[in-house]
Amino acid sequence: DVKVTQSSRYLVKRTGEKVFLECVQDMDHENMFWYRQDPGLGLRLIYFSYDVKMKEKGDIPEGYSVSREKKERFSLILESASTNQTSMYLCASSLRHNEQFFGPGTRLTVL
Amino acid sequence: AQKITQTQPGMFVQEKEAVTLDCTYDTSDQSYGLFWYKQPSSGEMIFLIYQGSYDEQNATEGRYSLNFQKARKSANLVISASQLGDSAMYFCAMREGDGGADGLTFGKGTHLIIQP
């Protein structure tokens, strides 16, 4: 089975802190994605990557950056966390244009 | 304009009845894919079914089928013989183009509650 893991299920940070959210997949998938999910808004794409060291902006990249140094790992970085970044963050991976497999999510609260 | 529209924020359905969850989409691409995901209260996103824009047959996966009407740009999910465990949020999503790395655009979801 495909497994996508995220480093934390729950995270509480203070405004202005630098935050790292880590995602690891074990199926050698080329593509990896970061979404955020907010009530009433569904999931929105922040960034994605189709290869090591490659990254593309999604629909809402402002305030975020990403890093993909190894194929299996895709990190989301909040350079200076703000309260409006309180959300559920979901990582996903896929092989070519097939379905995306999601991790369990990280619920981030920024105080 | 929204690319994925799910017009039913919530639905109550009796156990064992069939359920249709609506989804309409908007794209100018000829090649695209449509997905349905289930999200139970535990939070994980579970892939249910996929329909490619060039697929001539409606997709089916067990109790799930996708009613694909290309001219109307609709991709409704049909769940036959609903069960209590089907209670969850359901999201319709679209991938545009052939690019394998393209992210999905999600609708806002439908909260389905199955009543005994």
Residues of chain B neighbouring A66 (CB-CB closer than 8 A): none
Residues of chain A neighbouring B33 (CB-CB closer than 8 A): 97
- What pLDDT score does B81 carry? 94
Residue of A nearest to B31 (CA): A97
Cα separation values, B82 from A68, B12, B115, Å = 41, 11, 10
Does an H or E element contain A26, and which? Answer: none
Lowest mean pLDDT across A1-10, B5-14, B36-45: A1-10
**B88 contacts B99 by C-beta, under 8 angstroms:** no
Interface test with A, best of B47, B90, B95, B98 (most A CBs within 10 A): B47
What is the distance of C-alpha B79 from the center of its chain? 10
Give the percent of chain B with pLDDT over 90: 84
Rounded CA-CA distance B39/A102 in Å is: 11
Residues of chain A neighbouring B45 (CB-CB closer than 8 A): 43, 90, 92, 102
Q: Do B45 and A31 touch (CB under 8 A)?
A: no
Q: Do A97 and B95 touch (CB under 8 A)?
A: yes
- Only one residue has tokens 């799910």, namely B6
Burial of A7 (0-12, 13-18, 19+ CB in 10 A): middle
Per-residue pLDDT for B100 more than 90? Answer: no
* Pairing status of strand B4-5 against strand B19-21: unpaired
At B73, which amino acid appears? K
pLDDT, averaged per 10 consecutive residues of chain A (111 residues), comes to 87 97 94 94 93 92 96 96 97 84 95 96
- What pLDDT score does B97 carry? 77
Per-residue pLDDT for B86 more than 90? Answer: yes
